[in-house]
Amino acid sequence: MLTSLYHVQIPVRDVDAAVAWYEEYLGFTTAAPPDGRHAFLRSEDGPFLMLWQTDDAGRANFTVAGETFPVLLYRTTRIHELHDRLASSGVRITTYQDDGHHWVLKFLDPEGNMWGALQDN
């Protein structure tokens, strides 16, 4: 039976540029250096993020009743700092609000993948 989530995979057009962005803005570290096709990134606490370089890059998000949701949702204890850093760098923020239980931040990476971050109230 399944015991834990090992890694998530997302498509990117330029694996080297994606690695640099995720390290700089989201705090990932390189677990296995890019080899031109893929790279493994590590977060502080959670599954690995595997980036696959492809010309057929889709998007890691979906829509329900006209609202777009991220496939990737991470916890943070520094959501306001993350928001300020992303916003000041021109990253497209789609949601930044207190929903009564959490602070919620949704944003797009350079590939157009929607990410979510939550911070408990």
Which residues span the domain enclosing 95?
A: 61-120
Per-residue confidence (pLDDT) for residue 60, from 0 to 100: 84
Q: Is residue 45 domain-shared with residue 25, that is, in the same domain?
A: yes
Tens of pLDDT, residue by residue over 24-51, are 999 999 998 788 899 999 988 888 999 9
- Contact (Cβ atoms closer than 8 angstroms) between residue 108 and residue 95: no
Considering the domain architecture, whether residues 81 and 108 belong to the same structural domain is answered as yes
pLDDT at 102 over 90: yes
Residue 117 has pLDDT above 80, yes or no: yes
pLDDT digits (tens, 9 = 90+) for 64-84: 999 999 988 999 999 999 999
Confirm whether 91 is domain-assigned. Answer: yes
Give the count of domains, the chain: 2
Average pLDDT, the chain: 92
pTM listed for this prediction: 0.88
Among 11-20, 28-37, 73-82, 100-109, whose mean pLDDT is lowest?
28-37
Q: Is the pLDDT of residue 13 over 80?
A: yes
Looking at the structure, tell me whether residues 48 and 93 fall in a common domain.
no
The whole-number average pLDDT for the span 83-94 is 97
Q: What is the CATH number of the domain that holds 100?
A: 3.10.180.10
- Which has more pLDDT, 88 or 4? 88
Concatenating the DSSP letter of every residue in 60-105 gives SEEEETTEEEESEEEE-S-HHHHHHHHHHTT--EEEEEE-SSEEEE
